[in-house]
Chain A
Amino acid sequence: MTKSLPTKNRGLAGNDGCCLNGKETGLQPTFVNSSQNEVCCGSPPGPESNSFERAGYQLRHFVEDFIDTPAGAVPRVKTQLDPSDILGTVLVRLGLNRDQYKIAPGLYCVGLPGEDSPVLVTANYKLSFDTLRRELNAVDAWILVLDTRAINVWCAAGKELFSTAEVVRRVEQTALDRVVRHKQLILPQLAATGVSAHQVKKASGFSVRWGPIRASDVKQFMADGMQAEKAMRRVTFSLTERIVLIPVELSHLPKPTLWVLLAIFLLSGIGGHIFSLADAWSRGLMVLVAYGGGIFSGAVAAPILLPWIPGRSFALKGALTGILAGLAVVSVFRAGLHWPEAMALVLISVGVSSYLSMNFTGSTPFTSPSGVEKEMRKAIPLQLAAILVAVVGWVGAAFAG
């Protein structure tokens, strides 16, 4: 080992994360004759820095290389997802890591685009970007990524982030008119909520062509001469599309559930003995199961069974599945229950399920805010009443029993 290193370097060894068991060697520069024994701590050094790396920036793994354009270098991205992209998708779908799942806005490309290649515009939510690029295998195109604050196309359009102003600003910032010769942008149809085609034209000179709703139709759209058939222009809400939303619905629940737990055990302990810990535990568990049943029927069963549950109001649909869940819970505990308690458990399940199902309206692609508000004005008082009656029945039974 290199004992000849100057002693003044020794103090740095701790920060180096290297050669932990070779104290006397101090700082061990990897460029010193790296024959066998001298490789630091067994693991070989990583690859050399990529020539595309720049001080102060981080090169993203999905960038293949850069191509030169009159407006500077433009990153060319892969059209196949890596395992890390898929892991990222799974995590955001589970409601983890949802904050700032984004890529830098600006101009990207796929294939080998030229000055006549189409320009596809999308959001800088990484899930949106990944969904688009994976569909562009063997396509030569520019991808203009807007700063939508890591929000998907439709929601960003609704929040005026995927907006006329942002399109115009990004076209200017990327000097798109020096990269392409034509004056056309292809936007996903759902961005129409936030982007006014005629105003983009007026402000930037670029005309907007409305592309299909789904990225999976983009290739067909381009093959058909930038025409989308009717089916490509209609939103759908298939079983799969509903199921992938469920984990995120559930991920909102842990925080309020802490308060619910506290309330459940406090209210279940109250009774003839003022407060009984044993009751809080044994009776509380039953309410907890009813609460869990309500969550399952409102946030899992109702979204899955949506088209088959009778009624149009989501609060009603959730109440119906909640009744079934509540009855199932009662049948489990039926031996030790008086009728007010059974009623209380069903009502808890119904109230929770109805509320959660109603909340699912925010995730569907077909409910109007006017309709949601209308059903909420009717449903919330009833949901609150159900919970209130349940509490009275539950606590009252403890005194009577």
Chain B
Amino acid sequence: METFRYLPGVSTLNLNADDCIGCGMCELVCPHGVFQIDSKKAMICDLDGCMECGACATNCPTSAIRVTPGVGCAAYIIQTWFKGKQSPACGSVKCC
């Protein structure tokens, strides 16, 4: 999103170009236009636009994309500090 930029250099998004088959699914599902297909390979053209929603990784047929998806909700993150990542707070039904 061009009008809204968040902290740079933090996204855990990673693309393994060797495994990419250029299907374009990541470019299609990304809500922030992070990917571009160039000569039958996906490339990350706006890493800092990534919000780590995980749509690309979930829909990559060759698992060429890795990202640690999560819930960017402060209350949840505080809980994970005390109770660990397995804390069900936000993974469960009631949150946000």
Interface residues of B (CB under 8 A from A): 1, 3-8, 10-12, 25, 28-33, 49-56, 58-59, 61, 68-78, 90-93, 95-96
Contacts and interface: CB of A to CB of B under 8 A. Distances in A.
A52 B20 CA distance: 53
B3 A307 contact: yes
Contact of A237 (B1, B28, B61, B93): B1
B55 A368 contact: no
Nearest to B11: A368
B10 A370 contact: yes
A376 B80 CA distance: 12
B92 to A, nearest CB: 8
Contacts of B75: 359, 362
Contacts of A193: 53-55, 58, 69
A327 interface: no
A192 B12 contact: no
19 contacts: A155-B96, A159-B93, A160-B91, A190-B55, A197-B25, A197-B59, A210-B28, A233-B28, A237-B4, A306-B4, A312-B8, A362-B71, A362-B74, A362-B75, A364-B72, A367-B72, A368-B51, A370-B70, A372-B72
Contacts of A358: 74
Interface string A351-368: 000010011011111111
A372 B77 contact: yes
A160 B53 CA distance: 12
B91 to A, nearest CB: 6
Contacts of A372: 72-74, 77
A193 B69 CA distance: 9
A236 B70 CA distance: 20
Contact of A194 (B8, B32, B58, B92): B58
Contacts of A338: none
A195 B29 CA distance: 11
Most buried by A among B68, B74, B76: B74
A376 B1 CA distance: 22
Given A197-B25, A362-B74, A192 B58 contact: yes
Contact of B4 (A159, A195, A213, A364): A364
A192 B59 contact: yes
B96 A362 contact: yes
B96 A366 contact: no
A371 B76 CA distance: 14
A83 interface: no
A269 to B, nearest CB: 30
Contacts of B32: 234-235, 366
